[in-house]
Structure 1
Amino acid sequence: MGIEKYAGRVAMVTGANSGIGYAITQALLGHGIIVVGFDKAVDKLQSLKLKDTTSNLHVVEGDLTDEDSILAAFKWIRDHLPGVDIMINNAGILSNFDLSSGPTDKWRELLYINVLGLSICTREAVQDMLSRGVDDGFIIHTCSIWGHITPNQSGVAMYCASKQAVKTLLEGLRKDLVARKSKIRVGEVSPGFTRTELAKKAGVTEAVYDMYPCMEPEDVAGAVVYMLSQHPRVQIHDIIIRPTGFDY
């Protein structure tokens, strides 16, 4: 009993228009899963939808910093699809500002997307599953190696704090579901240095990728597929993946 048990079921992927989210979307579609791709920019998703002969990809434009936008996305899913069975909280942003001088608006945006937006999506997905009696659903967060270790660069401390919050929230959710006697599973994937648009927006250039070992988004998507492929009695709580040869 592998990932094929989710064929024809619905997954919502945030941050689906690029990087890891885009790779996860492609991987899930390849296994016959219906995917709702949620993002502020949807150009790559729209292009992928034109190529999707299965009609399993649905594109929803929205903003994780706006709760109404998130709730509207879940309403669209309830109105047009059976409901969310797999919630992939992948969206995230990285900022590089020292704690002694960083701008509040950038911190607020980071914490809203990486922590609060993730929590709202989780709440709505779990409530949707519980209301429909879904007992084999899955909530997966994209965390980070920096959710487990703290790097030397002081400017990414707020980002690291947000990812450590994600780790704590996942364990809290697991205990919440156990208390409810629900078999909905939870997990997170914590990748190390990966070639993504998120890193590029934070100032990582192609030259940096040439200097250090890095992974590709498809590597992280493979970890998500592995997690979803386990027998229902198995809950892979966290997968830490590092580029071979990287020293952290």
Structure 2
Amino acid sequence: MFAAIKEQHKGVDVCINNAGLSHPEPLLSGKTSDWKNIMDVNVLALSICAREAYQSMKERNVDDGHIININSISGHQVIPAAEIHFYTASKYAVTALTEGLRQELRAENTHIRATSISPGLVATGFISWARSNNRDQVAGMYATRKSLETKDIASAVTYVLSAPPHVQIGELVVEPIYQVSCCPSNPSTRTQARLHIKVV
């Protein structure tokens, strides 16, 4: 992938590590193969892409690039749901990897920035895919919990990328806080998002 990017576009200036997956495999009874799949995508692939993006920037003397890891609020808290405990561990790893990446970038005396964006529940196919054998449970989850929309995450990415060059946003947590009616004539609602920003 990075070779193709180099050939077609000369290299990478911004890398957004967005791939992630989960399997409903508890710690006490989970399948090793599914745990390995989670680690391969959520931890190893993210690290490989960050490394290759940095090497691309370094090769071309890009000193103002950005590596953004799409993390999860699960990378900061362990909720009592056995089926996501291993997934949660992988997201804690993303939190640690992003901070480690930031430290290594500083040690290299570069202005390339590293940021972790940690959303709460987002209305995507992620949970549906992870729980494909229980669609009723998925529908119930979205019905009883506030969720973000994909545009909220896109806005968070835009916010991070638009920070002034001297500002390093290390962590941005995006969580839904409440729902508001769009207008009196339209009973549909939309969720407002709240940002928690850690500048380092």
Question: How far has the Cα of 1:96 moved from its partner?
Answer: 1.3
Question: How far has the Cα of 1:216 moved from its partner?
Answer: 0.7
Q: Give the 3-state SS of the residue equivalent to 1:100 in structure 2.
A: coil
Q: Give the 3-state SS of the residue equivalent to 1:162 in structure 2.
A: helix
Question: How far has the Cα of 1:202 moved from its partner?
Answer: 2.0
2:123 alignment partner in structure 1: 195
Question: How far has the Cα of 1:162 moved from its partner?
Answer: 0.3
1:32 alignment partner in structure 2: none
Q: TM-score, normalised by structure 2?
A: 0.84
The runs of 4+ residues in structure 1 deviating greater than 4 Å are: none
1:236 alignment partner in structure 2: 169
1:186 alignment partner in structure 2: 114
Match of 1:80 among 8, 20, 26: 8
Partner amino acid, structure 1, of 2:177: T
Q: Larger C-alpha radius of gyration, 1 or 2?
A: 2
Cα RMSD after superposing both structures: 1.3
Partner amino acid, structure 2, of 1:217: T
Alignment of 1:86-235 (within 5 A): 86-203=14-131, 205-235=138-168
Structure 1 unaligned segments of length 5 or more: list them.
1-72
Question: How far has the Cα of 1:206 moved from its partner?
Answer: 3.1
Q: TM-score, normalised by structure 1?
A: 0.68
Partner amino acid, structure 1, of 2:70: T
CA distance in 1, matches of 2:33, 2:109: 40
CA distance in 1, matches of 2:73, 2:145: 16
* 1:38-84 deviation digits (Å, cap 9, x = unpaired): xxxxxxxxxxxxxxxxxxxxxxxxxxxxxxxxxxx000011111210
CA distance in 2, matches of 1:186, 1:234: 11
Q: Give the 3-state SS of the residue equivalent to 2:177 in structure 1.
A: coil
* 1:153-210 deviation digits (Å, cap 9, x = unpaired): 1121110000000010011111101111000011011000111111111225234212
Q: Give the 3-state SS of the residue equivalent to 2:15 in structure 1.
A: strand
Higher relative contact order at CA 8 Å, sep ≥6: structure 1 or structure 2? Answer: 1
Partner amino acid, structure 1, of 2:147: C
Structure with the higher fraction of residues in strand conformation: 2
Q: Give the 3-state SS of the residue equivalent to 2:67 in structure 1.
A: strand
Partner amino acid, structure 2, of 1:122: A
CA distance in 1, matches of 2:25, 2:32: 10
Q: Percent identity?
A: 41
How many residues end up aligned between the 2 structures? 174
Question: How far has the Cα of 1:147 moved from its partner?
Answer: 0.3
Partner amino acid, structure 2, of 1:132: R
Partner amino acid, structure 1, of 2:82: S
